[in-house]
Structure 1
Amino acid sequence: MTLLRDADLAAAFDHAARSYDTLVAANPGYHTHLRRSARRLGLADGGRGLRVLDLGCGTGASTAALTAVLPHARITAVDASAGMLQRATDKPWPRNVTFVHAPAERLTQAGIGGAYDAIFAAYLFRNVAQPDSVLTAVHDLLAPHGRLAVHEYTLSGRTVDRAVWTAVCRGLVLPVATALGDGQLYRHLWRSVVEFDTADAFAARVRAAGFDRVRVLPLPGWQTGITHTVIAQRATPDTRTGSR
């Protein structure tokens, strides 16, 4: 199958929004891992006085992780799927959280402007057609020394990790999703992982976008070697490849 992109992917997420929370709840450690990645931003005092962008918030799982770890930050949560965003906004949130409907490729057109102190992106980059362009936009939205945490399915490169991911998808996720009428989306999600960067390759992509202090940190449980947090900081002066 061809990977879903842009409007087709947003429409698939719209359709899957009604059952998305139920499916991810069956993933051991899903919410705990998101909170761990949010803590890895290393922001002090619960984020007091800071602006944080939650890019690709979906139904709000990553937003909930950020509010748990950074209860005093001003959080802007963005997603391209209207259906997923509706599920998110239907939940109760503190007043310091706002939601915006926009694709990651068109943030400025949606009124998303810098400078953010931190950006959190969970399960986003393998789903965009031009990850380098989105990384450049993310870089430019950050304040000097602003921090980035990418929580993503980025395989280690070991054959066993790819095999585990495929076994879980084919043996559990895809049959359930297909029964719910969302097989196309979850086939895309399986393939998007196996065709995307390894963790080290994605870290190199982040460095090329002008970030430094890039670290790849594993997550525990069955997702060890499958899901990683990539932490980085906007470099000052700009060290992006090809810049002046």
Structure 2
Amino acid sequence: MPTLRDASLALAFDHAARSYDALVRANPGYHAHLRRSARRLGRPGGRAPRVLDLGCGTGASTAALLSALPDAEITAVDASAGMLERAAAKRWPDNVTFVHTPAERLAEADVRGPFDAVFAAYLFRNTADPDEVLSAVRDVLAPGGRLAVHDYTLSGKRHHRAVWSAVCTGLLPLTTALGDGALYRHLWRSVIDFDTADLFAARLTAHGFERVRVLPLPGWQTGITHTIVGQVPGEGALA
């Protein structure tokens, strides 16, 4: 089954933005899990850290970062203008900035490091070249900077794959009625076809990240959603 990429994927998210928040509110643990993953970045020591929220969508990951790091300078970016418009329309403190750009073109949008941390929720499996994006993340992180990836990354067990497919199949009639069936079929397949959690952790290691760990999340998403954290070599501002 083909999946959406680049401009076609951004356009699909543009259309889905109007109903996206309502759908994720119906997902048990969605926001709590994002907050838990954000806390796994660590707490700042000394000055307020600079944090890049990569693929912020409608701002759920941005809110999670604010709850964990309320004094951080947060730059939130997304490739979908529709999702970003929904995010920016919400009430935010002055330490949050939104930028419309794909993850692969940060420098073109004047999004430049060094960042003390990068948070990427539901992003890498939707990129055309996850290794290119990992290299870009590595480049903008300060020495000792940390990356936390929050995503549907399956354990590799058949049971967890079956649960994921059952949940997605149950959602398809509703999302199709909303005109977003193609997007949600893509999101289903993007998880099935992407790395398992351990394989994605190996990607981080191959890109020079240290202290790479795969951390589970509770509830129905056990074995389906993970936080994968890693650190750039050096002494960082997060502990």
Normalising by the residue count of structure 1, what TM-score does the alignment of the two structures yield? 0.94
**What aligned pairs does 1:82-161 form with structure 2 within 5 A after superposition?**
82-161=81-160
Q: What is aligned with 1:178?
A: 176
Equivalent residue of 2:120, what SS? strand
In structure 1, C-alpha distance between the alignment counterparts of 2:68 and 2:144, rounded to whole Å = 20
Deviation at 1:44, TM superposition (A): 2.9
Structure 1 letter corresponding to 2:77? V
Calculate percent identity across the aligned residue pairs: 73
Residues 158-207 of structure 1 show CA distances to partners (whole Å, capped at 9, x for unaligned) of 00000000001102x21111111100000000000000000000000011
In structure 2, C-alpha distance between the alignment counterparts of 1:202 and 1:58, rounded to whole Å = 22
**What aligned pairs does 1:1-244 form with structure 2 within 5 A after superposition?**
1-44=1-44, 48-171=47-170, 173-236=171-234
Deviation at 1:235, TM superposition (A): 2.1
Equivalent residue of 1:98, what SS? strand
Q: Which runs of 4+ in 1 moved over 3 A?
A: none
Structure 2 letter corresponding to 1:232? G
Equivalent residue of 1:2, what SS? coil
In structure 2, C-alpha distance between the alignment counterparts of 1:83 and 1:163, rounded to whole Å = 32
Normalising by the residue count of structure 2, what TM-score does the alignment of the two structures yield? 0.96
Structure 1 letter corresponding to 2:231? Q
Q: What is aligned with 1:240?
A: none
Aligned residues: 235
In structure 1, C-alpha distance between the alignment counterparts of 2:58 and 2:147, rounded to whole Å = 21
Residues 53-84 of structure 1 show CA distances to partners (whole Å, capped at 9, x for unaligned) of 00000000000000111110000000000000
In structure 1, C-alpha distance between the alignment counterparts of 2:48 and 2:226, rounded to whole Å = 28
In structure 2, C-alpha distance between the alignment counterparts of 1:210 and 1:115, rounded to whole Å = 17
In structure 2, C-alpha distance between the alignment counterparts of 1:219 and 1:48, rounded to whole Å = 30
In structure 2, C-alpha distance between the alignment counterparts of 1:99 and 1:21, rounded to whole Å = 18
Unaligned regions of 5+ residues in structure 2, if any? none
Equivalent residue of 2:125, what SS? helix
Unaligned regions of 5+ residues in structure 1, if any? 238-244
In structure 2, C-alpha distance between the alignment counterparts of 1:48 and 1:143, rounded to whole Å = 14
Residues 98-133 of structure 1 show CA distances to partners (whole Å, capped at 9, x for unaligned) of 000000011111101110000000000000010001
Equivalent residue of 1:120, what SS? strand
Equivalent residue of 2:223, what SS? coil
CA RMSD of aligned residues (A): 1.2
In structure 1, C-alpha distance between the alignment counterparts of 2:22 and 2:34, rounded to whole Å = 16
In structure 1, C-alpha distance between the alignment counterparts of 2:86 and 2:180, rounded to whole Å = 17
Deviation at 1:137, TM superposition (A): 0.5
Deviation at 1:48, TM superposition (A): 4.7
Structure 1 letter corresponding to 2:115? Y
Structure 2 letter corresponding to 1:186? Y
Structure 1 letter corresponding to 2:71? H
Q: What is aligned with 1:242?
A: none
In structure 1, C-alpha distance between the alignment counterparts of 2:43 and 2:229, rounded to whole Å = 12
In structure 1, C-alpha distance between the alignment counterparts of 2:146 and 2:97, rounded to whole Å = 20
Structure 2 letter corresponding to 1:20? Y
